[in-house]
């Protein structure tokens, strides 16, 4: 039988997703359902002098109105769950509704619960709030300076933490270096923009004391824990269901006040309550991504050997520390700063800074795009300064393929890699030499062509639970699967992760079907309901396949071992004499007499004739905890032409060579790369959340926040190399985030390369036509 | 994104619509301009009068040497009219780039013009074609030139009791070339700056030249500088005229483009539109 592993079968999720038959949280309808709406602060920073809800309470259809004062003793504050050690982390209280002060435009002030969504919304206009406005500060660097407005009483200078990592001796390396390049790098604040905004629907049963909460979650078990903390209800009385989730990109990892509020309202009123975000609210209150100001220096020899990297980072956290926020600019950014290179000396300081803006947390890539961007940008600046081809500089510094496992200066140990192989393949696909010749010719004609080549590696497949504990992550990072075989031989795998668009319903079925020799249609994958799935930690950090997929594999193997025992018993043979072939256990040498998986499923479940000491039933649960992270890698190359008259960038070709180990479903891998690259093109060329000085979000709707559109997108050419990881039984590495990690520097370096003849060295992303044109004008004016 | 409550009335005929018109009413056809305003509660009408289905507001017909377009004609219907495309290829060219398929299926030309977004693509086309708009009310009807219709951002010559019912296009001069060039704001698709041009030639010399901008200032406007091209062969003068047309204009400033860049884009758009129009006229 041909294996399904490696087969690009169609995603089984798609028919329901594209025909409108999927069930999302907002589709949940319950008898007696009430609707909630939250009044959001219109000021970025203000004292609340009074909140008068009397008129709203009297409005038609309104059942209840709650303020921060009403809930102060009834709900706990919103927890931060990544308490990064050794950085003096300060997490001030984040009340579910503001009590005395608001800290970003969008901070919740009151919640209305009404018989209809419209009545709830109408009543918001009847709440009278008196604000005493305070100064806002939106820039994380400025927020640390003397005289900046203070957000929290116990956080002087708004500095939530100061985190350092160092390896080697950077001071010495810089002191002795022949060449140093320096650059201030800005990571534009991004709005995750999942197609489905957030929603939560809570139903409390006063009779049983059980609470069920449907919520847009990437990690229902984490949400169960966070809701238990916020509502004070014991964890075993809370059931969290994440039904269909329409994308997350990190924005549906955190615990938010909103889901705790609907849970409380349902417990208080004894009726189910639903809240659904609209897009403007989503942009205002759902977490944002990136928002770093970085001061970066790189040093090396005149012939292209990089000897040191130093960066000082101001990472904006927004008004409060969101669930995973402290870990993003530190663990997931600082530790991976040497990328795929043998940089011996590293020195990183990260300041996490509160600003009067929407909280910032994980966004597709989370820390690693920032790290990869600054490193790749600096290498191009360095290469230009020493006059050596940037690809040659990269090649000179890549970790050799025979050095794995390789420990970098920051202490991470990379699992496996062949960086040169991916680089060679990408250069050949993009025909690097030929392009350089075309570029030279075009320059003579006054045309500006450029190329960017990024060699990257990243850390994902989060991760060993012991490491999670050591770095302060408030949970485990193993994952789980319960594989259950029904009497008729069909199978369900209940998993601890929560895919929300990535395709594991298909790929995990491929794993199980291969193991059991059954048609893939006979296997279903179930996720998202804490009542039916074993404890797991969710889908993020490109971990689902590497960690949860491995749990599926191990659980299926356990089931098969039991099936083998039963087969041996029924065939009156010893297990050692059995072989598994064509979906059957049979005695070696007599292949005609065998027991198919379906027969064994039936016999196990009816238990008429079980071997001694073997329990009835055919199912197994596995908890898989990897021994290390996985480190996917690759090379992306992009060619562009810039119109110097208008600053417009046209992408000519985009080539992505990624290595995520063996691919379960190459079509799904390709889809992940396409999606990631295009999201990265958004970050590189056009997406940026903009606040004014008063902390008002100016890109508050999709009329002003420019996510990429299909009509603007290039053909993304994908290719792969295959280097298995030794840290999991599938050999797989994550590929969900490589696109956003590799594409951003590739694009920006291509544009800067195109404009090199004009003297342009760096442009802050996003490289909108306006910014590119301004940079050209500035360069023409003689300034560099 | 829930509007305040309002009465919805589907007008049976024009006089039915006129009766309901007034300060506290809004008119809806395709809804693509109005619905966002309602959802943001920027518009809070008591009554919404739906005129999108009125047959007398639909259709494209020849009139003299020109054409008349019913105000509730959808963008898609504009694109499907071969006669319109033959006589005013510029309208088809611009319409193809308005919104997306769904917007073009539902959005109407009259709705877009009456909304008067200062960065919309169609107003400068109307200006260079020298269109006239038929405005009707209970009291009667009047015709207003497109060149006097756009008063400011989202502000027109329409009175609260009037409806824009018809767009009247005069016959284009013989041997005319038309073109539109614009630079889109990446999120909204509206023009950061756009220019429409119309050029007529006879015996190698320009006999008429029209140029209008959108997105550049607080309202679309006709640039008188284009007249300098009349009586010349065009070519070398075009760049000068494009620059002169933008010089002195108070360009819009927002997060997407500052006034310097916007004015520069307008100059480039004007040069490209004039050059293409001249090429087409020849």
Q: For A646, which of B5, B186, B265 is closest by C-beta distance?
A: B265
pLDDT 10s digits, A341-350: 999 999 999 9
Q: For A121, which of B2, B186, B258 is closest by C-beta distance?
A: B2
What would the mean pLDDT of A622-631 be, rounded to a whole number? 98
- pLDDT over 90, % of chain B: 96
CB contact under 8 A, B1 and A278: yes
Q: For A117, which of B2, B187, B257 is closest by C-beta distance?
A: B2
Whether residue B211 lies inside any domain: the answer is: yes
Q: Which residues of A touch B5 (CB under 8 A)?
A: 118, 122
CB contact under 8 A, A118 and B265: no
pLDDT in the model for residue A593: 87
pLDDT in the model for residue A592: 86
Q: Do B64 and B147 belong together in one domain?
A: yes
Whether residue B213 lies inside any domain: the answer is: yes
B37 part of contact set with chain A, CB < 8 Å: no
Euclidean distance between CA atoms A256 and A137, whole angstroms: 23
Domain boundary residue among B124, B143, B169?
B169
Contacts of B276 (CB under 8 A, 6+ apart): B177, B179, B181, B197
The burial of A155, by beta-carbon neighbours within 10 Å (0-12 exposed, 13-18 middle, 19 or more buried), is given as middle
B5 part of contact set with chain A, CB < 8 Å: yes
The answer to whether the CB of A112 falls within 8 A of the CB of A65 is yes
Q: Which of residues 203-242 of B touch A (CB under 8 A)?
A: none
CB contact under 8 A, B268 and A646: yes
B3, B5, B187, B262: best to mutate for the A interface, most A CBs within 10 A: B187
pLDDT 10s digits, A225-262: 999 999 999 999 999 999 999 999 999 999 999 999 99
State how many domains chain B has: 3
Q: For A690, which of B1, B2, B255 is closest by C-beta distance?
A: B255
Whether residue B104 lies inside any domain: the answer is: yes
Whether residue B2 lies inside any domain: the answer is: no
Whether residue B24 lies inside any domain: the answer is: yes
Question: Structural domain of residue B202, as residue ranges?
Answer: 176-281
Phi and psi angles of residue A724, each rounded to the nearest 5 degrees, phi first: -65, 150
Domains and CATH numbers, chain A: 14-134+195-247+252-285 (3.90.1170.50), 292-462+628-780 (3.30.365.10), 478-624 (3.30.365.10)
pLDDT 10s digits, B236-279: 999 999 999 999 999 999 999 999 999 999 999 999 999 999 99
Q: For B268, which of A278, A645, A707 is closest by C-beta distance?
A: A645
CB contact under 8 A, A770 and B187: no
Q: Do B254 and B217 belong together in one domain?
A: yes
CB contact under 8 A, A117 and B261: no
Residue B35 scores a pLDDT above 80: yes
Please tell me the distance in Å from A255's CA to the nearest CA on chain B. 24
Residue A749 scores a pLDDT above 70: yes
Residue A783: pLDDT band by 50, 70, 90 thresholds?
very low
Q: Which residues of B touch A690 (CB under 8 A)?
A: 255
Q: Which residues of B touch A712 (CB under 8 A)?
A: 186
Please tell me the distance in Å from A278's CA to the nearest CA on chain B. 6
Chain A residues in contact with chain B using a Cβ-Cβ cutoff of 8 Å: 117-118, 121-122, 125, 278-280, 645-648, 686, 690, 698-699, 702-707, 712, 768-770, 773-774
pLDDT 10s digits, A412-459: 999 999 999 999 999 999 999 999 999 999 999 999 999 999 999 999
Q: Do B182 and B163 belong together in one domain?
A: no
Tell which residue, A295, A347, A626, has the closest CA to residue A459: A626
Q: Which residues of B touch A707 (CB under 8 A)?
A: 187
Q: Which residues of B touch A699 (CB under 8 A)?
A: 187, 255
Q: Which residues of A touch B239 (CB under 8 A)?
A: none
Phi and psi angles of residue A685, each rounded to the nearest 5 degrees, phi first: -110, -25
Q: Do B26 and B129 belong together in one domain?
A: no
B258 part of contact set with chain A, CB < 8 Å: yes
pLDDT 10s digits, A584-599: 999 998 888 899 999 9
Residue of A nearest to B262 (CA): A770
Q: Do B61 and B126 belong together in one domain?
A: yes
Q: For B261, which of A121, A686, A770 is closest by C-beta distance?
A: A770
Residue A607 scores a pLDDT above 60: yes
Residue of A nearest to B187 (CA): A706
pLDDT in the model for residue B22: 85
Q: Which residues of A touch B2 (CB under 8 A)?
A: 117-118, 121-122
CB contact under 8 A, A122 and B4: yes
Please tell me the distance in Å from B216's CA to the nearest CA on chain A. 14
CB contact under 8 A, B187 and A703: yes
Q: Which residues of A touch B258 (CB under 8 A)?
A: 770
Q: Do B105 and B209 belong together in one domain?
A: no
Please tell me the distance in Å from B11's CA to the nearest CA on chain A. 26
What are A291's two structure tokens? 């928002």
Residue with tokens 């790929």: A507
Please tell me the distance in Å from A712's CA to the nearest CA on chain B. 9
pLDDT in the model for residue B226: 97
CB contact under 8 A, B256 and A705: no
pLDDT 10s digits, A75-108: 999 999 999 999 999 999 999 999 999 999 999 9
Tell which residue, B214, B235, B192, has the closest CA to residue A648: B192
Q: Do B164 and B181 belong together in one domain?
A: no
pLDDT 10s digits, A257-285: 999 999 999 999 999 999 999 999 999 99
B101 part of contact set with chain A, CB < 8 Å: no
Whether residue B1 lies inside any domain: the answer is: no
pLDDT in the model for residue A389: 98
Residue of A nearest to B193 (CA): A646
Residue A713 scores a pLDDT above 90: no
pLDDT 10s digits, A297-349: 999 999 999 999 999 999 999 999 999 999 999 999 999 999 999 999 999 99
CB contact under 8 A, A703 and B188: yes
A702, A770, A771: best to mutate for the B interface, most B CBs within 10 A: A770
Q: Which residues of B touch A276 (CB under 8 A)?
A: none
Residue A782 scores a pLDDT above 80: no
Q: For A698, which of B41, B188, B255 is closest by C-beta distance?
A: B255
Q: Which residues of A touch B187 (CB under 8 A)?
A: 686, 699, 702-707
What would the mean pLDDT of A118-124 be, rounded to a whole number? 98
Residue A559: pLDDT band by 50, 70, 90 thresholds?
very high
Q: Do B149 and B241 belong together in one domain?
A: no
Mean pLDDT of chain A: 97
pLDDT in the model for residue A743: 98
Contacts of B20 (CB under 8 A, 6+ apart): B9, B11, B47, B49
Contacts of B193 (CB under 8 A, 6+ apart): B182, B183, B213, B214, B215, B216, B257, B262, B263, B265, B266, B269
Residue A1: pLDDT band by 50, 70, 90 thresholds?
low
How many helices and strands, by DSSP H and E, does chain B display? 11, 14
What would the mean pLDDT of B56-84 be, rounded to a whole number? 97
Q: Do B111 and B145 belong together in one domain?
A: yes
Render A637-651 in DSSP notation, one character per residue: EEEEEEETTTTEEEE
Please tell me the distance in Å from A121's CA to the nearest CA on chain B. 7
Q: Do B14 and B86 belong together in one domain?
A: no
Residue B40, domain CATH: 3.30.43.10
pLDDT 10s digits, B112-155: 999 999 999 999 999 999 999 999 999 999 999 999 999 999 99
CB contact under 8 A, A122 and B5: yes
The answer to whether the CB of A654 falls within 8 A of the CB of A712 is no
Q: Which residues of B touch A647 (CB under 8 A)?
A: 261
Residue A6 scores a pLDDT above 60: yes
Q: Which residues of A touch B268 (CB under 8 A)?
A: 645-646
Q: Do B111 and B15 belong together in one domain?
A: no
Domain boundary residue among B111, B140, B169?
B169
Specify the length of chain B in residues.
282
Q: How many CB pairs below 8 Å do chains A and B form together?
A: 48
Residue B262, domain CATH: 3.30.390.50
Q: Is A627 helix (H, G, I), strand (E, B) or coil?
A: coil
Whether residue B163 lies inside any domain: the answer is: yes
CB contact under 8 A, B40 and A702: no
pLDDT 10s digits, A360-377: 999 999 999 999 999 999
The burial of B94, by beta-carbon neighbours within 10 Å (0-12 exposed, 13-18 middle, 19 or more buried), is given as buried
Domain boundary residue among B35, B50, B65?
B50
The burial of A617, by beta-carbon neighbours within 10 Å (0-12 exposed, 13-18 middle, 19 or more buried), is given as middle
The answer to whether the CB of B99 falls within 8 A of the CB of B75 is yes
Describe chain B by its helix, strand, coil percentages, rounded to 5. Answer: 35, 30, 35
Residue of A nearest to B261 (CA): A770
Please tell me the distance in Å from B197's CA to the nearest CA on chain A. 20
Whether residue B145 lies inside any domain: the answer is: yes
Q: Do B63 and B121 belong together in one domain?
A: yes
Please tell me the distance in Å from B227's CA to the nearest CA on chain A. 26
Residue B158, domain CATH: 3.30.465.10
pLDDT in the model for residue A421: 98
CB contact under 8 A, A773 and B256: no
Residue B23: pLDDT band by 50, 70, 90 thresholds?
confident
B257 part of contact set with chain A, CB < 8 Å: yes
Mean pLDDT of chain B: 96
């Amino acid at each position: 039988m041909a294996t399904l592993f490696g087969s690009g079968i169609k995603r089984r999720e798609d028919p329901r997703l594209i025909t409108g038959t999927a069930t999302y949280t907002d589709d949940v309808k319950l008898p007696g359902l009430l609707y909630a709406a939250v009044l959001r602060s219109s000021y970025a920073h203000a004292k609340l002098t009074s909140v008068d809800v009397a008129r709203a309470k009297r409005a038609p259809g309104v059942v209840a109105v709650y303020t921060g004062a009403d809930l102060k003793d009834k709900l706990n504050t919103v927890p931060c769950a990544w308490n990064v050690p050794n950085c003096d982390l300060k997490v001030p209280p984040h009340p579910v509704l503001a009590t005395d002060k608001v800290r970003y435009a969008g901070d919740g002030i009151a919640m209305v619960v009404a018989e209809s969504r419209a009545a709830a919304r109408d009543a918001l206009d009847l709440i009278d709030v008196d604000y005493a406005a305070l100064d806002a500060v939106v820039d994380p660097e400025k927020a640390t300076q003397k005289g900046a407005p203070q957000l929290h009483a116990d956080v002087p200078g708004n500095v939530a933490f100061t985190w350092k990592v160092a390896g080697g001796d950077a001071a010495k390396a810089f002191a002795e270096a022949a060449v140093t390049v320096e650059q201030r790098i800005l990571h534009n604040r991004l709005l995750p923009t999942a197609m489905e905004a957030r929603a939560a629907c809570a139903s409390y049963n006063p009779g049983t004391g059980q609470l069920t909460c449907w919520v847009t979650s990437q990690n229902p078990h984490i949400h169960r824990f966070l809701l238990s903390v916020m509502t004070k209800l014991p964890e075993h009385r809370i059931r969290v269901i994440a039904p269909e989730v329409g994308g997350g990109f990190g924005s549906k990892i955190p615990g938010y006040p909103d889901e705790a509020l609907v849970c409380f309202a349902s417990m208080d009123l004894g009726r189910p309550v639903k809240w659904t975000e609209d897009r403007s609210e989503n942009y205002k209150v759902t977490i944002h991504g990136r928002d770093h100001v970085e001061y970066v220096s790189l040093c090396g020899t005149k012939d292209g050997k990089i000897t040191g990297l130093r960066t000082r980072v101001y990472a904006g956290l927004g008004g409060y520390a969101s669930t995973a926020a402290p870990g993003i600019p530190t663990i997931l950014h600082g530790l991976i700063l040497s990328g795929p290179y043998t940089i011996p000396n590293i020195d990183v300081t990260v300041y996490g800074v509160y600003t009067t803006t929407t909280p910032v947390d994980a966004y597709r890539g989370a820390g690693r795009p920032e790290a990869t961007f600054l490193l790749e940008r600096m290498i191009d600046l360095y290469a230009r300064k020493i006059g050596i081809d940037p690809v040659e500089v990269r090649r000179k510094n890549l970790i050799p393929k025979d050095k794995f496992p390789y420990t970098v200066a920051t202490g991470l140990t990379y699992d496996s890699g062949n960086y040169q192989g991916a680089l060679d393949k990408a250069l050949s696909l993009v025909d690097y030499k030929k392009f350089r010749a075309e570029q030279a010719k075009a320059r003579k004609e006054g045309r500006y062509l450029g190329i960017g080549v990024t060699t990257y590696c990243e850390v994902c497949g989060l991760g060993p639970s012991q490491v999670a504990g050591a770095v302060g992550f408030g949970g485990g990072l193993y994952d789980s699967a319960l594989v259950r075989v029904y009497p008729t031989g069909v199978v369900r795998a209940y998993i601890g992760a929560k895919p929300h668009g990535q395709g594991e319903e298909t790929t995990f079925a491929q794993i199980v079907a291969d193991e059991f020799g059954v048609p893939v249609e006979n296997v279903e994958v179930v996720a998202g309901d804490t009542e039916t799935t074993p404890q797991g930690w969710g889908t993020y950090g490109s971990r689902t396949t590497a960690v949860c997929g491995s749990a599926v594999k191990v659980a299926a193997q356990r089931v098969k071992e039991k099936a083998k025992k039963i087969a041996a018993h029924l065939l009156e043979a010893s297990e050692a004499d059995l072989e598994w072939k064509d979906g059957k256990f049979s005695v070696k040498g007599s292949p005609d007499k065998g027991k198919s998986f379906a027969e064994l499923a039936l016999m196990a479940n009816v238990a008429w004739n079980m071997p001694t000491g073997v329990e009835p039933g055919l199912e197994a649960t596995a908890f898989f905890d990897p021994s290390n992270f996985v480190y996917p890698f690759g090379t992306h190359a992009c060619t562009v032409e810039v119109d110097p008259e208008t600053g417009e960038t046209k992408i000519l070709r985009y080539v992505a060579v990624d290595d995520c180990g063996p691919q379960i479903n190459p079509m799904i891998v390709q889809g992940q790369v396409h999606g990631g690259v295009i999201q990265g093109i958004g970050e590189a060329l056009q997406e940026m959340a903009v606040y004014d000085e008063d902390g008002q979000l100016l890109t508050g709707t999709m009329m002003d926040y420019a996510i990429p559109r299909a009509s603007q997108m290039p053909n993304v050419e994908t290719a792969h190399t295959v280097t298995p990881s030794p840290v999991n039984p599938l050999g797989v590495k994550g590929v969900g985030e490589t696109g956003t990690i590799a594409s951003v520097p590739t694009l920006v370096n291509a544009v800067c390369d195109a404009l090199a003849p004009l003297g342009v060295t760096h442009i802050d992303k996003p490289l909108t036509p306006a910014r590119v044109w301004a940079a050209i004008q500035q360069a023409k004016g003689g300034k560099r | 994104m829930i509007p305040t409550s309002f009465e919805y009335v589907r007008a049976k005929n024009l006089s039915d619509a006129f009766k309901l018109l007034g300060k506290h009413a809004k008119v809806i056809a395709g809804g693509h301009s109005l619905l966002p305003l309602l959802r943001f509660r920027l518009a809070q009408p008591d009554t919404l009068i739906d005129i999108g289905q009125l047959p007398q507001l639909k259709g494209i017909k020849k009139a003299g040497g020109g054409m008349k377009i019913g105000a509730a004609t959808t963008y898609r219907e504009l694109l499907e009219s071969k006669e319109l495309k033959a006589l005013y290829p510029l309208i088809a060219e611009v319409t193809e780039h308005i919104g997306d398929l769904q917007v073009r299926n539902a959005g109407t030309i009259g709705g877009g013009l009456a909304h008067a977004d200062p960065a919309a693509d169609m107003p400068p086309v109307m200006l260079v074609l020298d269109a006239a708009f038929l405005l009707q009310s209970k009291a009667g009807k009047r015709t207003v030139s497109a060149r006097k219709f756009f008063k400011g951002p989202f502000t027109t010559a329409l009175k609260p009791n009037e409806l824009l019912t018809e767009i009247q296009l005069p016959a284009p001069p013989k041997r005319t070339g038309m073109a539109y060039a614009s630079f889109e704001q990446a999120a909204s698709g509206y023009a950061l700056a756009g220019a429409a041009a119309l050029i007529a030639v006879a015996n190698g010399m320009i006999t008429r030249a029209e140029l209008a901008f959108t997105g550049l200032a607080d309202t679309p406007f006709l640039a008188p500088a284009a007249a300098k091209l009349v009586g010349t062969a065009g070519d070398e003068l075009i760049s000068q005229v494009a620059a002169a047309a933008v010089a002195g204009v108070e360009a819009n400033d927002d997060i997407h483009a500052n006034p310097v860049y916007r004015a520069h884009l307008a100059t480039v758009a004007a040069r490209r539109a004039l050059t293409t129009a001249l090429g087409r006229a020849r």
